[in-house]
Structure 1
Amino acid sequence: METQIPRYIDDPSQFLFWDLDEALIMIGSFCFGILLGYPFWGGVAGLVSGRALRKLRSGKAEGYFWHALYRAGIVKGSPPGYIREMVE
């Protein structure tokens, strides 16, 4: 089994062999299923939502999901997106 080491520092983060955003949605769905008392169905919902996210992102740039959340104001970034130059 080969281990892939990111080549650049700005490569997207991964959890096992999923991108981080897919993994967070799948794990979140599974945990929600555990809270409701249906861990199997939570896991199924996690796999389905992870696959749906992958299809939604296909053909788009890496980090598309995070950029969409940032533009919607859900995820805060540093610095804000409208600042083009940093002056000390």
Structure 2
Amino acid sequence: MQADTYIPRRLDDQWKIGFWDVDVAAPIVLAFFIGYLSASKAAFALCMAAGIAVSRWIARLKSDKHPAFALHWLYWHLPVNPATAMRATPPSHIRRMVG
């Protein structure tokens, strides 16, 4: 009774849309949706160009950083609300830590 067991090597990978990480592909998807709602070809092309530019900017920004860099950036720069507040870490407005 020898069975081939599959042992996954990467449990904590980022979510993907095709070949791209979600945080890189999200601006293109959002721009596609907004461009589709505009109902004109020029506005659609403009929205897609803006989405691709923002996506490339995000990809370059996080190129040599931690895979969850975008989540960390959002945590430190967005205001705290009950849905995003964490109990084990201090609030993001407290920048000095002692210890």
TM-score by length of 2: 0.63
Q: RMSD of the alignment, in Å?
A: 2.4
- Structure 1: 5+ residue runs without aligned partners? 1-5
TM-superposed deviation, 1:74:
6.5
Q: CA 1:74 to 1:50, structure 2 compared with 1: closer, same or farther past 3 Å?
A: farther
CA distance in structure 2 between the partners assigned to 1:35 and 1:17 by the alignment: 26
Q: Which runs of 4+ in 1 moved over 6 A?
A: none
TM-superposed deviation, 1:10:
1.2
Correspondence for 1:68 = 73
Asked if residue 36 in structure 1 is aligned to residue 38 in structure 2, the reply is: yes
TM-score by length of 1: 0.70
Give the share of equivalent positions with the same residue, in percent: 27
Larger Rg: 2
Asked if residue 13 in structure 1 is aligned to residue 5 in structure 2, the reply is: no
When the two structures are aligned, how many residues end up with a matched partner? 77
